[in-house]
Amino acid sequence: MLTKASELNAYDVALENFDTAADALGLDHDTREMIKYPERVLTVSVPVLMDDGHIRRFEAYRVQHSSVRGPAKGGIRYHPQVTLDEVKALATWMTWKCAVVNIPFGGAKGGVTCDPKHMSQHELERLTRRYTSGILPLIGPEQDIPAPDVYTNPQTMAWIMDTYSMTKGYAIPGVVTGKPISLGGSLGRNEATGRGVFYTVQSACEHLHLPLKGAKVVVQGFGNAGSIAAQLLYEAGAKVIAVSDSRACILNRNGLNIPELMHMKALTGHVEGFPESEPIAPADLLALECDILVPAALENTIHAENANSVRAKIVAEAANGPLTPAADRILERKNIFVIPDILCNAGGVTVSYFEWVQDEQHLFWEAQDVYDRLEKVMKNAFRDVLKIHVDKKVSMRIAANMLGISRVAEAVQIRGIYP
Ligand code: NAD
């Protein structure tokens, strides 16, 4: 029986992906035991004084999957559907992602089960500060460094940085990345994930001899990652024909004006009703004939029931885990080239690493410096993954997992066990 995507457990998917890649690597049992599971899992109960004078309790998590290659690193998600298993899956993917782009970090993730769209700024600030106090024993610039994820942003990071710094007694900008520039954030961090997606799409187009100019693009999830990827693809001459957010899907077969759409989204918070566009159903958006489909919303949006309808040449996973394993197999059969999440969206954590380096050195780089270094990292990682894909005749996802897992495995084997 097919598992419904909504019932699919992201952590099961993460473990299944690990086993497939570990089998392809011929990884021994002992190494698997040491690197497969999260090192630390913390659940915190977060009481928050709401604006109506009542206390509301939120369940929240921080998971450190690996610190083998360096401090654990990963974003914090605020969403009503956050579960511990989702956070464990996202933390696991962070470990392999950091290793794929070869930055000296392990993997972590945090999450708060809440509905930020229905909370005031004051409530979000109190929630963030109390959550930070809850995870304080785990985080720190040499231990575990949070960053933004779905429905968290530079302001959230500023509150975390301030709360952490106030408990220590001095400013510690390196405890989080994705901060405002005025607090030690890096130029280029806000657009880093979308920019990284763009670089990997460029590499994939080169590999497939597909001209980016005139290529038809569909973006599911017009948020931070999706909108920046759309903008850079638009600037490179691609035609972004459809985009969506949690409220609406819009289409213009002649191409949407992305800078204007971004302007409208910044003003209104959504894409619905954009001039010169027509509304379409979410299922129709995924089924549009296009060259590049960018899922940039949440997990499991492409699954066994809708993967057959996908008619793209490239699927660029800006989101984490947008394809279920069943969808993966279907797209592979359809010969669709998938740029897997741990490669495709690694630009965010890469510039987070640059931010951390700049904070540690108290020396800040020009935006162009950040872009150039990011392009080099992303294109090198794409080349390394593609080589495994071609040499070992495995999917790009298995190839990326093989690369990430093999680097962590090598590190753990050299380190050994202590105590
Ligand atoms: P975001 O909150 O800025 O954007 C998410 C967007 O998805 C919003 O526009 C929202 O309306 C839309 N959305 C939500 N549910 C949807 C649905 N069912 N259909 C269509 N659209 C929907 O978040 P983000 O930071 O852009 O993250 C998006 C994805 O990218 C997540 O999977 C995240 O883990 C991943 N990611 C983000 C970063 C980063 O640096 N921001 C880095 C790596 C991976």
pLDDT of 152 reads 96
What is the domain partition of the chain in residue ranges? 39-173, 192-344
* Residue 109 appears among annotated catalytic residues: yes
Q: What are phi and psi of 80, to 5 degrees?
A: -60, -25
Q: What integer pLDDT is reported at residue 148 of this predicted model?
A: 92
Q: Which residue, chain included where needed, has tokens 């990884």? A: 27
With a Cβ cut-off of 6 Å, ligand 1 is lined by 148-151, 193, 220-226, 244-246, 296-298, 318-320, 345, 348
CB-based contact 96:110 (threshold 8 Å): no
Same fold flag, 39-173 and 192-344: yes
Mean pLDDT of 172-196: 97
Which residue of the set 36, 109, 265, 313 is catalytic?
Answer: 109
Q: pLDDT band for 1, please (50, 70, 90 cuts).
A: very low
CA 96 – CA 13 distance, rounded (Å): 14
Counting atoms of ligand 1 from 1, which one is nearest the CA of 77? 34
135 φ/ψ angles, rounded to the nearest 5 degrees? -100, 5
Q: Around 115, how many Cα atoms within 13 Å sit in the side-chain half-sphere?
A: 4
- What is the model's pTM? 0.96
Q: Which CATH number is 39-173 given?
A: 3.40.50.10860
Q: What pLDDT score was predicted for residue 44?
A: 98
Residue 2, pLDDT > 60, answer: no
| 228, pLDDT greater than 90 | yes
Residues 6+ apart with CB under 8 A from 315: 292, 293, 294, 295, 302, 323, 331, 336, 337, 338, 339
Q: Which of 46, 39, 73, 47 is CA-nearest to residue 61?
A: 46
pLDDT at residue number 8: 80
Q: Which of 298, 301, 302, 342 to mutate to test the pocket of ligand 1 (most atoms within 8 A of CB)?
A: 298
Please give the sequence-ordered ranges of beta strands (E in DSSP) within 81-125, or none if there are none. 106-113
253 has pLDDT over 50:
yes
Counting residues of the chain whose pLDDT is more than 70, the rounded percentage is 98
Q: Nearest C-alpha to atom 17 of ligand 1 is from which residue?
A: 246
Residue 183 has pLDDT above 90, yes or no: yes
Architecture of domain 192-344 in CATH?
3-Layer(aba) Sandwich (3.40)
**Ligand 1: which residue has its CA nearest to atom 35?**
319
Nearest CA to ligand 1 atom 19: 246
Q: What is the mean pLDDT of residues 292-298?
A: 96
Per the prediction, the chain carries an average pLDDT of: 96
Question: Can you tell me the mean pLDDT for 278-291?
Answer: 97
The kind and range of the H/E element at 278 are: strand 278-280
